[in-house]
Chain A
C-alpha cells in the first residue's frame, strides 16, 4: 500500500466545475495557495455539458450584482483563461407570445433598470424586420444585447487549466472520500492517495454538495435536476441571438459552425452521476422548436444529452459561509443557471476564503435560510469556543 501524500495549503476546494475552478484561479491571482479535488475531470459535469447561455436577463434581481461581476470577467476571458471559449455577446432575446408575456418582460426591464442591462423591448414591424426567421407565435420580445453564449465544453475545463498554470494544484480523478475538522484545520482525504490539510474548505460539489453540508450539521433540501438538450446538424447560419421564451419552455442558439443547440424540458437520471434527455422531452422540444423557428422544419437532431445540476426549493444557490463551521464556505445549487455567474462566484468565493467577506451582496443566498435559526446559532457558538 502506498503512503498517503499529505499536502498543506491555504484553501482546499472540492469540485472542479466552473465554480470550483474559477475560485481556484481567483485565489491564485490573490497569491493564496490552493488544492482542488475533482473526482472525475474538471468541467465534465454540469459545467461542461450545459446549454452555454451566458445571460443576465431574466435572473432574479438578487443575482444581478453577481451576474454583473461575472459579466466583467467574461469580457476578459481570453486574457484570463487563454481561450475565447467561443464566447460571443451575440444578444439574448426573450420571446413573448402574448400581451401578458410582453407586460412581464416590460416589468422585468423596469425591475432591473438599476443594473444597466440595456434591455430593449421589440415588437410589431420592428420584430419582423430584425428577425424574419421567427415563427408566427411570437408577438414581441426583450433583447439584452450584451448577453450571449459560449461553449461550455471549452470554457469550464479552461478555467481549471488556467488555475493550474497559475499555480493551483488541481487533482483530477481524485474523489473526496472523507473530511474531518479539528476546529481549525480541515483534512480532506481521497482514499489512501492524498490528504489535503487546510484551514479553509470550499464546497463546490455541485448537485452532490449536500453530503458535505449534512456532515457539518446543516443539511439542505437539495435535489438534482436534468435539463434536456439537443443539437442539430449544421445549418446555414441565420440567427446570432440566443433565444429564450418568457415563462420558460424552450431555448436555442446557433453556433458559428451552424449547429443549433436547443434546450427545454427535462432529462432523466440514469444514476446519481449520469443523465440523458427524456424521450418525451425530445418530442416536445422538436414540436416547439419548429414552431419557434420554421427554418428547422427540415433539419435533423444529431445528438441529445443532459446533465446533473443541483436545485434548492427557491431556485437560488447557497453561497457564503457555513452556519455551523468556521472556515467552511459553500457555493452550490445554481438551479440550471450557474454558467454565466460562475466566474463571478469564483471571485466571491476567493474573497470569502481570504477576507471572510465579499464586496458583492450575497445575503440572499445564505445557507441559514434552510437551517433552523436556533440550531444554527447553537452550532456556531459551539464552533467558536
Chain B
C-alpha cells in the first residue's frame, strides 16, 4: 500500500544509497537511483569496470564480504528500481534535478517528490609546498587508482597526512607489492593512546586499525608519528618528501606521494536544495542539519551517509536504511518502528568511536600557522596563502565568500571542493577568528563543470 505522492529519488549508490533503495523496495516503493559513477558501490566498495577479473578479496581485503553483500543486494534490486548510472546531478530546483549523462553528454530533468541525498565524501586536503608536482595524489585518489584501475601511483610511495585511510592505503599499497617509503602521520602516538578508550567500543574496527600499523612495521615500513610535512621536492615530478619531527628536517626519497587529512562531506547538492547548515565541531565543517532520522530543514529532502558528516561505511548503511524508513513514515507507509529505533541506537552507539577517531587522528590545527606565504592553496586559480593573508589584511576580508570574490580562491573548476578547507584555515589564522566564524562558500550550480554544448534529451528517463 503506497501513498500516491511517493516519487522518491536517491542520489548516490554507495552504502547509504543502496540500503535506502533496498528499504524502499521492501515497502513496495520504486525509487529512482542516480549515480555519477559507472557502477554501484560508492567510494569504499567502488567496483572496477565490468571486464576486470580481480577477486573481491584482492580488491576489498577484510571488507570483501561486506562489499559483495552490498553489490549483490543492489544487483538484486535491478528490476524494482530505476537505476541511472553515469549520471551526475548538476543542479536542483523546484522538485527537479538536472542530470548529465556522461557518456552521451546529454542532460535531462528528473522530477522528484522526495529526495534522499547520499552523496558521500572526498578527501580533505591541506596543501604542502610542492603538492602541485606531478606524482602527488590524495590518499583517496591513490586508493581509487588501486581499486578501480588496478594500478598504483608509483613504485616507491610516501603516504602522509592523518586519518584511518592513511594506514589503510599504506597497507593496501604494501599488500599490492608497492614499496611504501614511509608513512608520515601528523598525529602523535600519544593521541592514539589517549583515544583508545573511545575506540574500544568498536573492538573489531580498532583491531583492524592496529593490525594495519603492526603489519606495516613488521614489514619494515617506516611509520613516523607527530610529523609536520615541510615540502614535496622535485623538478618535473616528485623525488622526495621533507618532514620535520619538531627538531630536525628529514628527507625521504620517493617517486609518488599520497596525502590527505581524513574526509570532507560533499554538501553542494544539499546546499542547492536550500538545506540549512550549521557548524559541526566534530567534523570541523559547516554541514547540512538533519535530525536523527535524516530529515533536513527542507520538507521532502533527506540526508544519509558521509554526505551529511563523516561517519564511515557501516554508519552509512544504517543511516540509509533509517532515512528511507523516515521518508516512508512521513508519507503514511507503515514501517517497523522498532527497527528504526535500533538503527538510531546503532548510530548513536558509534559516536564514542567516531570521537575516538578524531582524538587518535586530530586535525592539525596548527597547519595554517606553518603554511608559508608562497604555498599555492587553490591550484585551479593559482592563489597562494600569502595572497589570501594580504586580502584579509588589506581589504579586510573576514568571511569566505568575500575572500573568494576578492582573490578568486574557490572560483576554478573545483569550486572550492579541494581548496575550501585550507582557505578557511588560512583566513581564520589571518583574522584571528575562530574557524567556525569565517563562514562557508555558498554552493552554486553546476556541482561539477558541465559541457556547454549540452544536448537536451528529448524525454526524461523515468
Asked if A16 CB lies within 8 Å of chain B CBs, one says: no
Quick check: is B347 within 8 A (CB to CB) of the other chain? no
Which B residues are CB-close (under 8 A) to A41? 399, 402
Complex: A283 Cα to B451 Cα, angstroms: 11
With both beta carbons as reference points, the residue of chain B lying nearest to A262 in the complex is identified as B452
CB interface residues, A 209-244, toward B, < 8 Å = 232-233
Beyond the given pairs A41-B399, A300-B449, A301-B452, 7 more chain A to chain B contacts, judged by CB atoms under 8 angstroms and listed by A's residue number, are A41-B402, A44-B402, A153-B406, A154-B406, A161-B396, A299-B451, A299-B452
Number of contact residues on B: which range applies?
Answer: 20 to 34
Question: Which residues of chain A are near B411, meaning CB under 8 Å?
Answer: 303
B96 touching A301 by the CB < 8 A rule? no
Asked if A298 meets B451 with Cβ closer than 8 Å, knowing A41-B402, A48-B405, A153-B406, the reply is yes
Given the known interface contacts A41-B402, A279-B96, A282-B91, the answer about A300 and B445 at a Cβ–Cβ threshold of 8 Å is no
8 contacts between A and B (CB under 8 A): A44-B405, A157-B402, A276-B445, A282-B445, A297-B453, A304-B444, A304-B445, A304-B446
Is A233 in contact with B413, judged by CB distance below 8 angstroms?
yes
Residue of A nearest to B445 (CB): A304
B449: nearest residue on chain A (CB-CB)? A300
Measured CB to CB, the nearest residue on chain A to B381 is A257
List of B residues within 8 angstroms of A302 by Cβ: 412-413, 415, 446, 449
- Among A161, A279, A286, A301, the most chain B Cβ lie within 10 Å of the Cβ of A279
Q: How far is the CB of B89 from chain A (nearest CB, A)?
A: 12
CB closest residue in chain A, given B382: A257
Indicate if B98 sits at the interface (CB-CB under 8 A).
yes
Q: How many Å lie between the Cα of A233 and that of B96 in the bound state?
A: 26
Partner of B452, one of A278, A300, A303: A300
A290 / chain B contacts, CB cutoff of 8 Å: 452-453
Q: Give complex CA distance A157, B398 in Å.
A: 14
How many Å lie between the Cα of A301 and that of B274 in the bound state? 22
Q: Given A157-B395, A290-B453, A298-B453, does the pair A303, B444 have CB atoms closer than 8 Å?
A: yes
Most buried by A among B96, B399, B405, B456: B405
A305 CB within 8 Å of chain B: yes
Asked whether A286 lies within 8 Å of B415 as measured between CB atoms, the reply is no
In the complex, chain A residues 155-183 whose Cβ is within 8 Å of any chain B Cβ:
157, 161
Q: Which of A154, A270, A279 contacts B98 (CB 8 A)?
A: A279
Contact partners of B415 in chain A: CB under 8 A: 302-303
Residue A296 is within 8 A (CB to CB) of chain B in the complex: yes
Interface string of B426-462 (1 = CB under 8 A from A): 0000000000000000001110011111101000000
Tell me the residues in window 41-70 of chain A with beta carbons closer than 8 Å to chain B beta carbons: 41, 43-44, 48
Tell me which residues across on chain A come within 8 A of B109, comparing CB atoms: 279
Query: Is B55 interfacial (CB 8 A cutoff)?
Result: no
Output the nearest chain A residue to B401 by Cβ-Cβ distance: A44
Judged by a CB distance under 8 angstroms, whether B93 is at the interface is yes
From the candidates A48, A161, A279, A283, name the one contacting B93 in the complex (CB within 8 A).
A279
For the complex, give the distance between the alpha carbons of A166 and B452 in Å: 45
A300 & B274 in contact (Cβ 8 Å cutoff)? no
A253-283 toward B: CB 8 Å interface, digit per residue (1/0)?
A: 0000000000000001010000011110011
Residue A196 CB within 8 A of the other chain: no
How many A-B residue pairs have C-beta atoms within 8 angstroms? Tell me: 75
**In the bound complex, do residue A157 and residue B405 qualify as a contact, i.e. CB atoms below 8 Å apart?**
yes
Report, as a range, how many residues of chain A touch the other chain: 20 to 34
Query: Which residue of B is nearest A48, CB measured?
Result: B405
| Most chain A CB inside 10 Å of its own CB: which residue of B109, B401, B446 | B446
Instruction: Tell me, in angstroms, the Cα distance from A65 to B160 when the chains sit together.
Output: 63
CB-defined contacts of B274 to chain A, threshold 8 Å:
270
Which residues of B have CB within 8 Å of A305? 444
Contacts of A154 in B (CB 8 A): 406
Known: A153-B406, A279-B98, A305-B444. A300 touches B451 (CB 8 A): yes
Q: How far is the CA of A286 from the CA of B105 in the complex (A)?
A: 13
CA A303 to CA B451, docked complex, whole Å: 11
A289 touches B (CB below 8 Å): yes
Residues of A within 8 A of B445 (CB): 276-277, 282, 303-304
Say whether B452 contacts A286, CB under 8 Å: yes
**Residues in B neighbouring A296, C-beta threshold 8 A:** 452-453
Q: Considering the complex, give the chain B residue whose CB is closest to the CB of A172.
A: B396
> Which residues of B, 412-431, contact A by the 8 Å Cβ criterion?
412-413, 415
B449 in contact with A301 (CB, 8 Å)? yes
User: Given contacts A233-B413, A282-B91, is CB(A300)–CB(B450) below 8 Å?
Assistant: yes
Whether B406 and A157, one on each chain, are in contact in the complex, defined by CB atoms closer than 8 angstroms, is yes
With CB as the reference atom, state the residue of chain B lying closest to A170: B396
Q: Is the CB of B452 within 8 A of A276?
A: no
Residues 246-278 of chain B, each 1 if its beta carbon lies under 8 Å from chain A, else 0: 000000000000000000000000000010000
Once the chains bind, are A268 and B444 in contact (CB under 8 Å)? Answer: no
Q: Which residues of B contact A232 (CB under 8 A)?
A: 452
Among B98, B402, B445, B452, max chain A CB count under 10 A is at B452
Q: Which residues of A contact B396 (CB under 8 A)?
A: 161
Taking CB atoms and an 8 Å cut-off, the chain B residues in 62-100 that contact chain A are 91, 93, 96, 98
Q: Once the chains are docked, how many angstroms separate the CA of A297 from the CA of B451?
A: 8
Report Cα–Cα, A282/B452, bound state, in Å. Answer: 9
CB nearest to A232 among chain B residues: B452
Docked Cα-Cα span, A280 to B411, in Å, equals: 23
B402 partner residues in chain A, CB cutoff 8 A: 41, 44, 157
- A residues in contact with B449, CB < 8 Å: 233, 300-302
Question: A270 to chain B: which residues have CB within 8 Å?
Answer: 274
A5 vs B449: C-alpha distance when bound (angstroms): 48
| Whole-angstrom CA separation of A384 from B109 in the bound complex | 60
Cα–Cα distance between A290 and B452 once the two chains are bound (Å) = 8
Nearest chain A CB to B380 CB, angstrom units: 9
Chain B residues with CB below 8 A from A277, complex form: 445
| B450 cross-chain contacts in A, Cβ below 8 A | 300-301
**A161 and B453 in contact, given A268-B93, A277-B445 (Cβ under 8 angstroms):** no
- Bound-state CA distance A301–B456 (Å) is 15
Closest 4 CB pairs of A and B: A300-B449, A153-B405, A302-B449, A286-B452
B:98-140 near A, CB below 8 Å:
98, 107, 109
Report the separation of the CA atoms of residues A269 and B93 in the bound assembly, to the nearest whole angstrom.
11
* A298 to B401 alpha-carbon distance, docked (Å): 29
In the bound assembly, the distance between CA atoms of A298 and B105 in angstroms comes to: 11
